[in-house]
């Protein structure tokens, strides 16, 4: 099992480029099943979750090859299998994204329960609500047996703006007969990227970026080429990294059009950034003081459906807040177990009151010290790595495979900024 040895307390400086959006790469890979022609995806992050979904595509009969460092060619010419291995499906949440395209392509699918980060209950009900509206029969047991005699367009209202359920519905509706109106849809950048790619392959989707999508089904999609946008979550992670280490970092190709709520949240913590064309500059001389709400009230940073602050950055915001003067409430509304990693930061010297599974009060600044910690999930793992880079002394961070599911070559890239971080194998 690999671990990171991290020597903290050093300002990080330099230039870094974010990887392609992980949460876009996974549905885009699933969408290659919708056509029997080749699809080339550029700027694909070389991370474990992508490789796992790629393995699932290969099991279903697709062909795939890396034609460049981050360029992937997928050709789903003959898709025959309709069942995937439970062990592979249990590794990632995104295995459920195969349902929509497989139902559109072959009309049936036996889907094991999806895996993913253990951050609380993650409903699948919205997926099946949408698919049943589109003409899919659903049987549940240890897994899910899905079958359709033909997808048909419908007026679909999602009971929550689930990102993956929206993506499944979009992929199914793209080849459904007739018109689909998808209401209360998620509008995150990765959902937009999926719609843009599908339209480049011949789909007819409008309302992109809003919570109401209009989809006119087509008979078939062609092949094509699409470049995945930079990962705005990774951009937010690098802003947090610069803030806690008093570093000076330029983030190239930073997807600045997707950063409004992220930059606003950092401003509440006294962290300012400068947009320079397509890049984002984080200066070293930061105020790092929590800005009170009007009337002197304690502010909060809370997440919500896009365009609100992303849930995937609440862990990062909590660690940054420990290094800022003042008090702030971090409210993670979506997952009831994500905030439990706070006890590991408390063990490093932070002053945090975990009020309940969703809310934590942070009082800063706190001098963090090195510790031995374990990564519970992708985002909390990155937050712990950021804390370790801020702390004095050498930290040992275990279970870093979780971090590497979402961040490509993160140890190597951070060393390029001056971080002292080594990856070692451990039998502990």
pLDDT of residue 391: 96
Paired residues of 26 in beta bridges? none
Of 25, 26, 64, 54, the closest CA to residue 42 belongs to 25
Continuous segment of H or E residues that includes residue 126: helix 125-133
Rounded to an integer, the average pLDDT of 346-361 is 95
Instruction: Name the one residue in this structure whose structure tokens are 């999930």.
Output: 377
Q: Kindly list the strands in the beta sheet with 279-282, ordered across the sheet, starting from the edge strand earlier in the chain.
A: 13-16, 248-251, 279-282, 274-276
Paired residues of 275 in beta bridges? 280
Give me the percent of the chain exceeding a pLDDT of 90.
83
Domains of the chain: 2-19+230-425 (3.65.10.10), 22-227 (3.65.10.10)
- 116 has pLDDT over 70: no
- 423 has pLDDT over 60: yes
Instruction: Count Cβ atoms below 10 Å from residue 337 Cβ, excluding itself.
Output: 17
- 10 has pLDDT over 90: yes
Give φ, ψ of 325 to 5 degrees: -75, 125
Q: How confident is the model at residue 143 (pLDDT cuts 50, 70, 90)?
A: confident
Rounded to an integer, the average pLDDT of 169-191 is 97
Rounded to an integer, the average pLDDT of 351-363 is 95
Rounded to an integer, the average pLDDT of 113-122 is 54
Q: How far apart are CA 258 and CA 196, in angstroms?
A: 15
Q: How far apart are CA 120 and CA 194, in angstroms?
A: 26
pLDDT of residue 120: 41
Cα dist. 167→26, 96, 148, 208 in Å? 10, 10, 18, 12
Q: How confident is the model at residue 358 (pLDDT cuts 50, 70, 90)?
A: very high
Rounded to an integer, the average pLDDT of 190-200 is 98
pLDDT of residue 426: 64
Q: How confident is the model at residue 121 (pLDDT cuts 50, 70, 90)?
A: very low
Dihedral Cα 190, 196, 200, 202, nearest 10 deg:
100
**Residues 390 and 323: beta-carbon distance below 8 Å:** yes
Q: Which of 36, 55, 78, 117 is catalytic?
A: 117
- 375 has pLDDT over 80: yes
Of 61, 35, 362, 327, the closest CA to residue 203 belongs to 35
- 118 has pLDDT over 60: no
Q: How far apart are CA 362 and CA 244, in angstroms?
A: 15
Structure tokens belonging to residue 400 = 């870093």
At 262-277, the pLDDT tens digits run 999 999 999 999 999 9
361: exposed, middle or buried (Cβ count in 10 Å: 0-12, 13-18, 19+):
middle
At 95-107, the pLDDT tens digits run 899 999 999 999 9
Continuous segment of H or E residues that includes residue 157: strand 155-157
pLDDT of residue 349: 97
The dihedral sign for the CA sequence 78, 80, 83, 86: negative
Output the pTM of the full model.
0.92
Q: How far apart are CA 97 and CA 164, in angstroms?
A: 7
- 305 has pLDDT over 90: yes
Say which residues have a Cβ less than 8 Å from residue 4's Cβ, sequence separation at least 6: 385, 388, 395, 396, 397, 400, 411, 421, 422, 423, 424
pLDDT of residue 427: 61
Q: Which of 34-48, 131-145, 324-338 has the highest mean pLDDT?
A: 34-48
Angle CA(334)–CA(102)–CA(212) in degrees, nearest 5? 45
Q: Which of 1-5, 165-169, 335-339 has the highest mean pLDDT?
A: 165-169
Look up 117 and say whether it is catalytic: yes
- 408 has pLDDT over 80: yes
Structure tokens belonging to residue 9 = 């307390």
Cα dist. 28→50, 122, 220, 362, 411 in Å? 10, 21, 17, 38, 26
Q: How far apart are CA 121 and CA 371, in angstroms?
A: 29
Which of 73-87, 304-318, 393-407 has the weakest average pLDDT?
73-87
Angle between helices 48-59 and 22-31 (to 10 degrees): 10
């Amino acid at each position: 099992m690999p671990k990171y040895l991290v020597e903290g307390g050093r300002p990080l400086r330099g230039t870094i480029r974010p990887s392609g959006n992980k949460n876009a790469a996974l549905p885009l890979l699933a969408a290659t099943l919708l056509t029997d022609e080749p699809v080339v995806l550029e700027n694909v992050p070389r991370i474990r979750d992508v490789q796992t979904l790629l393995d699932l595509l290969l099991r279903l009969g697709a062909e795939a090859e890396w034609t460049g460092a981050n360029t992937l060619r997928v050709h789903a010419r003959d898709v025959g299998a309709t069942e995937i291995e439970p062990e592979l499906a249990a590794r990632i949440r995104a295995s459920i994204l195969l349902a929509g395209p497989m139902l559109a392509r072959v009309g049936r699918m036996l889907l094991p329960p999806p895996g993913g980060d253990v951050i609380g209950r993650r409903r699948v009900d919205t997926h099946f609500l949408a698919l049943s509206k589109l003409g899919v029969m659903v049987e549940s047991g240890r897994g899910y047996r899905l079958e359709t005699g033909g997808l048909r367009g419908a007026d679909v209202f999602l009971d929550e703006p689930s990102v993956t359920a929206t993506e499944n519905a979009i992929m199914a509706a793209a080849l459904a007969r007739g018109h689909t109106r998808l209401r209360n849809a998620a509008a995150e950048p990765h959902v937009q990227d999926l719609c843009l790619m599908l339209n480049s392959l011949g789909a007819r989707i409008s309302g992109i970026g809003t919570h109401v999508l209009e989809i006119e089904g087509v008979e078939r999609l062609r092949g094509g080429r699409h470049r995945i946008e930079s990962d705005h979550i990774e951009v937010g992670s690098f802003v947090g990294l610069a803030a806690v280490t008093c570093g000076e970092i330029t983030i190239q190709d930073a997807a600045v059009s997707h950063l409004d709520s992220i930059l606003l949240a950092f401003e509440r913590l006294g962290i300012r950034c400068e947009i320079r064309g397509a890049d984002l500059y984080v200066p070293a001389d930061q105020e790092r003081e929590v800005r009170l709400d009007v009337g002197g009230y304690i502010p909060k940073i809370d997440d919500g459906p896009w365009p609100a602050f992303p849930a995937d950055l609440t862990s990062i915001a909590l660690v940054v807040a420990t290094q800022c003067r003042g008090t702030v409430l971090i409210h993670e509304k979506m997952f009831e177990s994500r905030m439990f990693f706070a006890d590991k930061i408390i063990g490093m010297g932070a002053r945090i009151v975990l009020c309940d599974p969703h809310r934590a009060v942070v009082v800063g600044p706190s001098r963090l010290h090195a510790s031995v910690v374990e990564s519970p999930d992708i985002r909390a793992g990155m937050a712990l790595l950021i804390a370790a880079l801020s702390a004095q002394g050498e930290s040992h961070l275990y279970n870093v495979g979780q971090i590497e599911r979402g961040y490509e070559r993160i140890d190597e890239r951070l060393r390029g900024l001056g971080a002292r971080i080594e990856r070692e194998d451990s039998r502990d």
